[in-house]
Amino acid sequence: MTTSLEKPDVRPVPEGHVRLTIDGEEVDAPKGELIIRSCERLGIIIPRFCDHPLLAPAGACRQCLVEVEMGGRPMPKPQASCTMTVADGMVVKTQHSSPVAQKAQEGVMELLLINHPLDCPICDKGGECPLQNQAMSTGRTDSRFVDEKRTFPKPLAISTQVLLDRERCVLCQRCTRFSEQIAGDPFIDLLERGALQQIGVAQDKPFQSYFSGNTIQICPVGALTSAAYRFRSRPFDLVSTPSVCEHCACGSAMRTDTRRGVVLRRLAGNDPEVNEEWIPDKSRFAFRYLTSAGRITRPMVRGSDGALTETSWTDALRVAAEGLLAAREGGIGVLAGGRLTVEDAYAYAKFARLAAGTNDIDSRARPHSAEELDFLGAHVVGNGPERLSYTRLEAAPAVLCVALEPEEEAPVVFLRLRKAAQKRRQKVFHLGQWTTPAVLRTAVELGSTEPAARDGLIRAVPGAEAAVLTELADVAPHVVEALTGGGVILVGERAAEVPGLFTAAARLAERTGAVIGWVPRRAGERGAVEAGALPTLLPGGRPVADAAARAEVEQAWGLPAGTLPATPGRSTAEMLAAAAAGELAALVVGGVDPFDLPDPAVALEALRNVGFLVSLELHTSAVTELADVVLPVAPDAQRSGSYLNWEGRRVRFGPALDASGVLPDCRVLDTLAVEMDVDLFTQTPAAAANELERLGRHVGVAPPAPSVDPAEPLRPRFFGQAVLATWRQLLDESSLAVDEPALAGTARPAQLRCNPATAQRLGLVAGAPGTVRTERGTITLPVVFADLPDGVVWLPANSPGSQVRGTLGVGHGDLVGVSA
Amino acid sequence: MTNSDRSGLDTSTPDPITPVLTRRWLSPRAWDIDVYEQLEGYAALRYALTGHPDQLIELVKASGLRGRGGAGFPTGMKWGFIPQGPTGAGAKPKYLVVNADEGEPGTCKDIPTMMADPHSLIEGCIITCYAIRANFCAIYIRGEALHPLRRVRYAVEQAYAKGYLGRDILGSGFDLDIVVHAGAGAYICGEETALLDSLEGRRGQPRLKPPFPATSGLYASPTVVNNVETIASVPAIVQGGSSWFRTMGQEKSPGPKIYSLSGHVTRPGQYEAPMGTTLRALLELAGGMKDGIPLKFWTPGGSSTPLFTAEHLDVPLDFEGAATAGSMLGTTALQIFNETVSVPWAVMKWTEFYKHESCGKCTPCREGTYWLLQILERMLHKQGTPADIETLLDVCDNVLGRAFCALGDGATSPITSGIKYFRQEFLDLCTAQPSGGVDTAAHDQLPELTGASA
């Protein structure tokens, strides 16, 4: 207890702060703080529309007017508290203590309402509408407006998923400012002027932004609505649950709104450390996979007639256990997929080691390499946000993206990079093939963006990325210089497609002192590494080959010493090859799409040839088609769990919907193991998480760093040949984006890209169709010119009409035939 | 028009109506560079280039020249705000932007200046740029003003040909380029920050201040934005000196000024007079009220300045005098209306203009002008009520000082001042309202009210 005799007003003003008076209360505020924010901290809420803490001040709506005195002199006009910063000795009077401010706010509110329709009862925003709320709290009780309201034809579809009701718009410009300042793709802008001013899009240029859904969420009125949600529900009928995005490795905080057992919409949550308040449209709009026709809700067993029939859990688990027990001798492989929660990945890891008695487990349902395993063991596992976080990423003076197209593969990372480039002049470099929209928009804008963007792209022929990185000091010395001293290198999962690239990136980080981070595409990838769902790593990053590490796990799992297999397991590709050759008796497959795998043909053959196939799935798929036993698992909305995002940050979620009748993977595996006379103790996600936590992290010698020399890239040898560059677009044929036509309508069109010289040599014409072929098949897409290296063509990896691996059986860096 | 035969400036106290800014206007082909040079053109520039830029800024400060675009900000002080020096903001390029987006109803002084004497503007630009150390100047001319645009472009071409523009001007080592830019017909682009955005190729809407143009104007660089008449006054100050300049006009508003008389006067046009002249004096020059019909009301400086009436004939028309009498000097555009004109009708027409020209950025101006016009139109159709008058005043109160820029404030001026002096006319429209119904003949009666066709 203190008994200071000092008066409070002689308290020194803290460093970097000013002291001002708000509504008679003295308050210290950091220099540069906006008055409206200082008021918020005092609990004084000033009504506002255009103000948004993550957007630059605009001062457009004039709703937040307050009276301000400076140096004892009142300013002649009320001031917009959202644009004016605090100053020492300032006296602020809000609507609570100033009749002038109160009248000004009431006046502006009345003006805003004269042209606003009174359609709240049918408006999506009604019930959660800032205009509605603030009109009630600060507006006049009546309107004096008796004349004609301005009307527009409605709604205007500015894209397939965003609808605009212009007469509801209060022209706060939050949406246009978001598009310009945050997403950097201003497809929408103000048109006309005066009372006819309106938001709009250019002719034939719809609002094709990956981030357009955020504008719906920050719209303070019902002017922007979601085509998928419009007229579906009232806010007060919804039950909201905090959730986490399952679509990518960004770990975005979200909110899931449900009504009577159905998810109706999802919104961005506010996690300043991760996604701030923004999420990409895929996170927001792709959730109807929960109710799609292919959803499996009952266990199924293949009968003697060869057809799958629904059965009881007891029966299905018995059949599965018997089949697996019989196959144990011949070997069981576990393909865990990349979308698992940490808890599920741990259950798969434990299932493989205990029930299947093998290290043949791999969560990488995509092109992968042994080099990657070394990289994950040496540079990724065990690291958390304390080493490399969004905050650290934003603060870095320079960032190099390797085999990572951030906007397509990690959109929230992209937003951070763009923010840093805009606000901190961060230099963002991309090792890639062409100046993508992300390259352009993460370039520091100094007048013309073009030259800066060119500097941001380090162009490499597909397959030559590792060689370019190795010789970066000669190829692009400015990049090496920029990375030295606090730089960050982000490596995408696609680095596994280029031999030597993980090695080259790790060595570059070593040379420059840059921090290296791994940004996979799927939500479960990072957690699977930590949980031990890899052939070379046990839970906690313990190397399989390390006897002491094995002993720790054995002890924790209560196993006799020497129980755990000591030899590293086989990778996904190796398991599939073995299964195809009849060298593996059974496969347990959790959420794997064969067409994501390096060679879908081999994968399908393996699934057909393997003696016994158990599939844990949400939806019918190419795997369930061939499975002997299909066990349905719970989607995220109906379970609890957590992901590790690319930072290594644990993001947890609870069930948003009633979870009775559906079981998470960890529970299914636990029960299956019991049928096989093994206890996993992963009945619930919480149990699995607790056990993984108790295991702790590996403290022994770190596994060796990857060491693979760059390979010679393939070069076109014959007329009509080209090297293929490919990666996935954010909105494509991914299985979790099914049944979302509105979302699919905003996908970037599938196009074949090459430079004009290559096009001429290959006989391609811009705008006309071009065909890429291998002996497996052909893909024909319209040709578009881009600044790719000579002799290279680019295709989207999994877009409508362009399933590269499925159709062509090749990938990034392979040779393909190209013709008109 | 004045038609003095003075061939040059002297430093003695000038006759009250001896022209300075308009002295070349009546010379044949005054817009041609040869004629301009014969009439002492570009002499001030030669003199200015011999001095230090700071001396020029001091000279203009000492002259007391105030901005002629309406706000009356001291010009020398504005120039002095431009950061100089090799580091920080001073190291950035500096720009002069001339606001020639003359679009205020009634205002018509810059367009004749550019038509009759474009080189005085260009000479002023060169001297100003030399003073603020700018090597680039943009003249933003209202897009509809096609003839002045052509004339200024031609004049710039001539100035380049004669070495007044371009590299190493007159051997001084000073470089300057002038670009003449045509606006696209938006009143808001006369607001200096909207003008800058428009000049940069963006949507013309006012910018948030601070930062002010002096530190972050065109392309985020230090920028002076001055009106045509302000810049055109500079050569005269350089030639005549600051004390000579101060012999004209008032202590706080010195110098000569072009007063634009329009409406019901015998000889409408441009009248140059020292600051602080009165309408009575100007009417004498203009031959009095047209057809002897008595004066009813007038604007001292364009439609954004509150109305004056016949009571205000002797108000000194300088910044202080107009403000003291409850209005503003504005652009000294005197729109003069005789007794045949209905005040509510005139106010409605002005409001129509503001509603049409509101840029839409802020709520009070966008929605306020939309609403005010509907009320006024309704009143003119005899469907108003006395309560509407109170609503008009209260909406004006909610717009004035609440809008983002001064356009909103200006839109309220005709309404509040019109009601202040002529409330009965508004009330008369209400009493003419047939009880309990809509006057279907309202539209037909409109023309009779106008009277302005006289």
Which residue among B186, B391, B404 sits closest to A59, beta carbon to beta carbon? Answer: B404
Contact B366 A194 (CB under 8 A): yes
Q: What's the DSSP call for residue A12?
A: P
Give the nearest chain B residue to A102 (CA atoms). B398
Tell me: do B366 and B400 sit in the same domain. Answer: yes
**The complex's ipTM?**
0.92
In a domain, B351, yes or no: yes
3-state class (DSSP) for residue B243: helix
Last residue of a domain, one of B314, B338, B362: B338
**Secondary structure of A339-377 in HEC code, one letter for each residue:** CCCHHHHHHHHHHHHHHCCCCCEECCCCCCCHHHHHHHH
Residue range B98-121: mean pLDDT, rounded: 97
- Give residue-wise pLDDT tens across range A525-569: 999 999 999 999 999 999 999 999 999 999 999 999 999 999 999
Neighbours of A620 (CB within 10 A): 18
Residue range A222-250: mean pLDDT, rounded: 96
The strand order across the sheet containing A515-519 reads A457-459, A427-432, A398-402, A488-492, A515-519
**Residue A61 touches chain B, beta carbons under 8 Å:** yes
Percentages helix, strand, coil for chain B (3-state, rounded to 5) are: 45, 15, 40
Residue A2 scores a pLDDT above 50: no
Tell me: do B239 and B308 sit in the same domain. Answer: no
Q: Domain of B402? A: 343-450
Tell me: do B357 and B300 sit in the same domain. Answer: no
The answer to whether residues B333 and B311 touch, using CB atoms and an 8 Å cutoff, is no
Q: Which amino acid is at A614?
A: V
> What is chain B's alpha carbon radius of gyration, rounded to the nearest angstrom?
23
What angle is formed at CA A457 by the lines to CA A453 and CA A461, rounded to 5 degrees? 145
Report long-range pairs for A86-90 (Cβ below 8 Å, ≥24 apart): A86/A18, A86/A20, A86/A29, A86/A31, A86/A32, A86/A33, A86/A34, A86/A35, A86/A38, A87/A18, A87/A20, A88/A13, A88/A18, A88/A19, A88/A20, A89/A18, A89/A19, A89/A20, A90/A18, A90/A20, A90/A21
Contact A171 B391 (CB under 8 A): no
Residue A394 scores a pLDDT above 90: yes
Contact B395 A107 (CB under 8 A): yes
Distance CA A345, CA B389 (A): 74
**Residue A83 touches chain B, beta carbons under 8 Å:** yes
CATH number for B350: 1.20.1440.230
- Give residue-wise pLDDT tens across range A710-760: 999 999 999 999 999 999 999 999 999 999 999 999 999 999 999 999 999
- Give residue-wise pLDDT tens across range B295-320: 999 999 999 999 999 999 999 999 99
- Quick one: which of A573, A507, A535 has its CA closest to A368? A573
Q: Distances in Å between the alpha carbon of B380 and those of A755, B376, B394, B428, B443? A: 66, 6, 19, 10, 9
Contact A107 B404 (CB under 8 A): no
- Give residue-wise pLDDT tens across range A434-488: 999 999 999 876 544 445 556 799 999 999 999 999 999 999 999 999 999 899 9
The region of weakest confidence among A336-350, A689-703, B47-61, B347-361 is A689-703
Give the pair of three-digit tokens for residue A649: 């940050």
Residue A5 scores a pLDDT above 60: no
Q: What is the pLDDT of residue B3?
A: 36
- Quick one: which of A384, A390, A385 has its CA closest to A697? A384
Tell me: do B333 and B352 sit in the same domain. Answer: no
The region of weakest confidence among A102-106, A329-333, A443-447 is A443-447
Contact B356 A194 (CB under 8 A): yes
What angle is formed at CA A89 by the lines to CA A86 and CA A91, rounded to 5 degrees? 75
Specify the pairing of strand A778-785 against strand A815-819.
unpaired
Contact A110 B398 (CB under 8 A): yes
Q: Distances in Å between the alpha carbon of B423 and those of A774, B136, B409? A: 86, 51, 20
Give the pair of three-digit tokens for residue A503: 């090695």
Last residue of a domain, one of B283, B317, B338: B338
Phi, psi angle pair for B165, to nearest 5°: -130, 160
Which residue among B359, B374, B399 sits closest to A148, beta carbon to beta carbon? Answer: B374
Distance CA A140, CA B394 (A): 13
CA distance B385 to chain A (A): 12
Q: Which residues of A188-317 form beta strands (DSSP E)?
A: 188-191, 198-201, 224-226, 239-244, 253-259, 262-268, 300-302, 308-310
Tell me: do B164 and B57 sit in the same domain. Answer: yes
Distance CA A320, CA A587 (A): 11
Taken in order A362, A364, A367, A372, is the CA torsion positive or negative?
A: negative
Give the pair of three-digit tokens for residue A761: 């040599």
In a domain, B193, yes or no: yes
Q: Which residues of B303-324 are buried (b: 16+ CB within 10 A; e: fewer)?
A: bbbbbbbeebeebbbbbbbbee
Distance from the Cα of residue A102 to its chain's centroid: 43
CATH number for B318: 3.10.20.600
Residue B440 scores a pLDDT above 70: no
Q: What is the pLDDT of residue A701?
A: 85
| Beta-carbon pairs below 8 A across chains A and B | 103
In a domain, B5, yes or no: no
- Give residue-wise pLDDT tens across range A260-306: 999 999 999 999 999 999 999 999 999 999 999 999 999 999 999 99
Tell me: do B23 and B172 sit in the same domain. Answer: yes
Average pLDDT, chain B: 92
Give the pair of three-digit tokens for residue A258: 């449900």
Q: Which residues of B touch A (CB under 8 A)?
A: 186, 188, 203, 205, 208, 219, 355-364, 366-371, 374-375, 378, 391, 394-395, 397-399, 401-404
Which residue among A83, A112, A197 sits closest to B208, beta carbon to beta carbon? Answer: A83
Average pLDDT, chain A: 95
Q: What percent of chain A stands above pLDDT 90?
A: 94
**Cβ neighbours of A60 in B, within 8 Å:** 361-363, 404
Distance CA A36, CA B129 (A): 40
**Cβ neighbours of B357 in A, within 8 Å:** 193-194
- Quick one: which of B73, B117, B72 has its CA closest to B236? B117
Contact B357 A196 (CB under 8 A): no
Tell me: do B334 and B347 sit in the same domain. Answer: no
Neighbours of B140 (CB within 10 A): 24
Q: What is the pLDDT of residue B442?
A: 46
Helix extents (H) in A25-173: 35-41, 99-114, 130-138
In a domain, B330, yes or no: yes
Tell me: do B120 and B195 sit in the same domain. Answer: yes
Residue A407 scores a pLDDT above 80: yes
3-state class (DSSP) for residue B29: coil
Q: What is the pLDDT of residue B123?
A: 98
Which residue among B355, B391, B399 sits closest to A195, beta carbon to beta carbon? Answer: B355
Residue range A329-340: mean pLDDT, rounded: 95
Distance CA B31, CA A229 (A): 65
The answer to whether residues A77 and B404 touch, using CB atoms and an 8 Å cutoff, is no
> What is chain A's alpha carbon radius of gyration, rounded to the nearest angstrom?
29
For chain B, the farthest-separated pair of C-alpha atoms sits apart, in whole angstroms, at 80
In a domain, B251, yes or no: no
The secondary structure of A103-136 as a DSSP string is HHHHHHHHHHHHTS-S-GGG-TTTTS-HHHHHHH
Give the pair of three-digit tokens for residue B411: 């839109």
In a domain, B154, yes or no: yes
**Cβ neighbours of A110 in B, within 8 Å:** 398
CA distance A103 to chain B (A): 8
Q: What is the pLDDT of residue A376?
A: 97
Phi, psi angle pair for A264, to nearest 5°: -105, -30
Neighbours of B288 (CB within 10 A): 13
Phi-psi region of A424 (alpha: psi -120 to 50; beta: other; left: phi over 0): alpha
Distance CA B25, CA B2 (A): 9
Q: What is the pLDDT of residue A660?
A: 87
Residue B75 scores a pLDDT above 50: yes
Tell me: do B84 and B195 sit in the same domain. Answer: yes
- Give residue-wise pLDDT tens across range A625-675: 999 999 999 999 999 999 999 999 999 999 999 988 899 999 999 999 999
CA distance B289 to chain A (A): 37
Q: What percent of chain B stands above pLDDT 70?
A: 91
Tell me: do B65 and B194 sit in the same domain. Answer: yes
Give the nearest chain A residue to B204 (CA atoms). A193
Give the nearest chain A residue to B391 (CA atoms). A144
3-state class (DSSP) for residue B215: helix
Residue range B171-177: mean pLDDT, rounded: 97
Residues 159-198 (A) with a CB less than 8 A from some CB of B: 170-171, 189-190, 192-197
Residue range B375-383: mean pLDDT, rounded: 96
Q: Distances in Å between the alpha carbon of B262 and those of A313, A345, B50, B300, B337? A: 94, 84, 42, 11, 9
Q: What's the DSSP call for residue A804?
A: I
Give the nearest chain B residue to A77 (CA atoms). B401
In a domain, B44, yes or no: yes
Q: Distances in Å between the alpha carbon of A707 and those of A374, A375, A472, B357? A: 8, 9, 18, 68
Last residue of a domain, one of B211, B245, B279: B245
Contact B363 A192 (CB under 8 A): no
Residue B16 scores a pLDDT above 70: no
Contact A108 B356 (CB under 8 A): no
Query: Which of B369, B370, B383, B395 would you mutate first to test chain A, the one with the most A CBs within 10 A?
Result: B370
Neighbours of A89 (CB within 10 A): 12
Q: Is the peptide bond before B211 cis (omega within 30 degrees of 0)?
A: yes
Q: Would you place residue B10 in the very low, low, confident or very high pLDDT band (cuts 50, 70, 90)?
A: very low
Distance CA A143, CA A106 (A): 10
Distance CA A338, CA A249 (A): 10
Residue range A111-121: mean pLDDT, rounded: 96
Count of structural domains, chain B? 3
The answer to whether residues B169 and B48 touch, using CB atoms and an 8 Å cutoff, is no
CA distance A273 to chain B (A): 30
Which residue among A60, A150, A195 sits closest to B362, beta carbon to beta carbon? Answer: A60
CA distance B185 to chain A (A): 12
In a domain, B144, yes or no: yes
Q: Is the peptide bond before A155 cis (omega within 30 degrees of 0)?
A: yes
CA distance B316 to chain A (A): 25
Give the nearest chain B residue to A103 (CA atoms). B398
Tell me: do B142 and B276 sit in the same domain. Answer: no
3-state class (DSSP) for residue B37: helix
CA distance A102 to chain B (A): 11
Distance CA A452, CA A449 (A): 5
Q: Which amino acid is at A287?
A: F
Phi, psi angle pair for A612, to nearest 5°: -140, 130
Tell me: do B270 and B402 sit in the same domain. Answer: no
